[in-house]
Structure 1
């Protein structure tokens, strides 16, 4: 090879190396999360103190109180913590299936516009997580769920509220609830029927009961007193009254005007428990068929003298968990009347009609139909 030709080849090679080193304006390094990565790998789950969920029709704000999570739109009534925990944990575990830059057309098609957008057909559901200082930890819009051929979920499309990248993740929030009533802790009380010694129904301020359901001893069926001559008690209806607190659940809730409002109720049922606690139920219904309850609890020392019960057995003690039986959860001690009262007395509970009907206030409803001869 001639010296001149070799020099030219060296020059060309040098130019090629130089060109390779010149920036092209494109970052060839992989940035951001990749397929298979967790989308919110750095989410500090234990620092979450507020969760806001909103769609085009509803908004729910869940805030961490001193002792329990609360539903802000229901004056701080306790929230369903299990449902909240499952939602936040699911967010922290989301894995990316694919991602792409979302243009206006794809954001509309995948329903990834914010809930406030004018285009109703393209609105998604927004979830915002904040810490106690108000700092945003995560803010995203959930869009269309990707369906499989068998009808199951193939993940869900979502985007961060302040970004344009669309992610298809490996789980979906198809059944995520957005209305405040759907996030309330539903259980008001859960007192099994066999813990109830008697039920006495009173009208207004009268001390004379309309009727009494009483067990002669624990484990026996409750009996109605009085039973009019020529009539018989309806055992199914009696059981319905005795079982009405196991569990008692709500549909909605609102703050009460105060304890004095209970005294104005026209009817009350007093559940006397074998351990001495008493639960008062004040059922009311308005003209629009809205069924409501007030609930109060009293300690034995504060309670009225219950109807006589022959030789009531002692309160059963919870046995200590046996060694080698770690899989069997120890039964929790029942709440004191004060604990119950602190939780339920400040509220008026809306309930379903079938639950309301379990609190029978008319003695005749506890009697069998009179069979006419002929």
Structure 2
């Protein structure tokens, strides 16, 4: 080949490379898709590059949008003022896109999108898709847009609707990738977590009260006479009711809520208005533990449905040094000091986590607190009558004659 001919080939080659690179970028985030039956069209989805997820759904003529953002090494729900999101749910959700397999490929005309539920939610509420936008950390660079259409049942299944092919038990779904009608497929995922409801995405981790030694319920206003407090002096001691007890009554420890808030959860964050109402006539629950942690709970009225609004303030007074036992041996001191120090670190971490909830108010199911909110009279039972009559003489045993 002559030198002049080789020089003429270089410019077209460079142009071709540039066009390929541009084409890949246009595909979205540097990843390409290919609709092939049995293959994963988004197998190259760069999970680590996803910094924002926007879910849009139109069910009542007005699109509702959820925004999840990765901030400070954790996911947050922007719609809830940056409250921590459920990272496990998010990871599972985006991995479903990466792992989905094509069961059927098709191309649809614009007029056919409504039939398979792929109309854009910005333009329609009936037969519209749930739109999922995956963006990079800047919140602007789009990686992929996924339109999720109608769900389907497996062909031949009992739940399949013979006319439309849509059954009651769904195991697959129409999806359109990057708004391209030429890239529509039925995939082996239903993406059931694709909800724009912010409360569905909140991290529902909450406080957990361990080893309480004092539980007090304080009712406001005219209900103050229903207030009560129970305490115990050690792990093995019995619970005691503070104050005098009405004649003929005794404290019924079995009916007392002695394990309050041991594994609570919440349904949603309370609104600012609901939170402000807690400063007006809220019932209070005060719990102290053997570990030195204190929980002050304000309980509001039921705003709607079966939820109650609460706010928890967690504080703690942890000792700086261990108090040696009365008969502690010198050779045991090193081991005991180490165990105590490790336990204190655990308590400091627990205090840090539980106190992070102090600034929020929450909506919880009513049963979370109603088992604690007993009236003082409900903790009492009738005193058993003492036996005044001597027991009857035992029967004379029968002795068989010899």
Tell me whether 1:59 sits opposite 2:40 in the alignment. Answer: no
Shift of the 297–89 alpha-carbon distance from structure 1 to 2, 3 Å rule, reads same
Kept after mapping to 2: 8 A contact 1:278/1:337: no
Deviation of the 1:129 alpha carbon: 1.1
Partner of 1:310: none
Partner of 1:123: 128
Shift of the 365–98 alpha-carbon distance from structure 1 to 2, 3 Å rule, reads same
SS of alignment partner, residue 126 of structure 2? helix
Kept after mapping to 1: 8 A contact 2:130/2:194: no
| CA deviation profile, 1:24-68 (whole Å, cap 9, x unmatched) | xxxxxxx93422221212211012111112211442211112143
Shift of the 72–150 alpha-carbon distance from structure 1 to 2, 3 Å rule, reads same
Tell me whether 1:225 sits opposite 2:242 in the alignment. Answer: yes
Partner of 1:250: 266
Partner of 2:314: 297
Shift of the 274–75 alpha-carbon distance from structure 1 to 2, 3 Å rule, reads same
| TM-score, L = length of structure 1 | 0.72
Partner of 1:327: none
Partner of 1:45: 47
SS of alignment partner, residue 291 of structure 2? coil
Kept after mapping to 2: 8 A contact 1:283/1:359: no
Tell me whether 1:238 sits opposite 2:256 in the alignment. Answer: yes
| CA deviation profile, 1:136-187 (whole Å, cap 9, x unmatched) | 1121111111213054444211102421121111222235333111111223
Shift of the 368–317 alpha-carbon distance from structure 1 to 2, 3 Å rule, reads farther
Is there any run of 5+ residues in structure 2 with no aligned partner, and where? 1-32, 160-168, 320-335, 385-402
Tell me whether 1:108 sits opposite 2:118 in the alignment. Answer: no
Aligned length: 311
Correspondence for 2:194 among 176, 181, 184: 176
Kept after mapping to 1: 8 A contact 2:212/2:290: yes
Q: Aligned partners of 2:286 and 2:54: how far apart in 1?
A: 40
Q: Aligned partners of 1:315 and 1:202: how far apart in 2?
A: 39
Partner of 1:92: 98
Tell me whether 1:350 sits opposite 2:350 in the alignment. Answer: no
Kept after mapping to 1: 8 A contact 2:93/2:193: no
Is there any run of 5+ residues in structure 1 with no aligned partner, and where? 1-30, 303-313, 321-331
Deviation of the 1:366 alpha carbon: 3.0
RMSD (CA atoms): 3.6
Q: Aligned partners of 2:357 and 2:115: how far apart in 1?
A: 46
Q: Aligned partners of 1:52 and 1:59: how far apart in 2?
A: 7
Kept after mapping to 2: 8 A contact 1:51/1:63: yes
Q: Aligned partners of 1:315 and 1:255: how far apart in 2?
A: 46
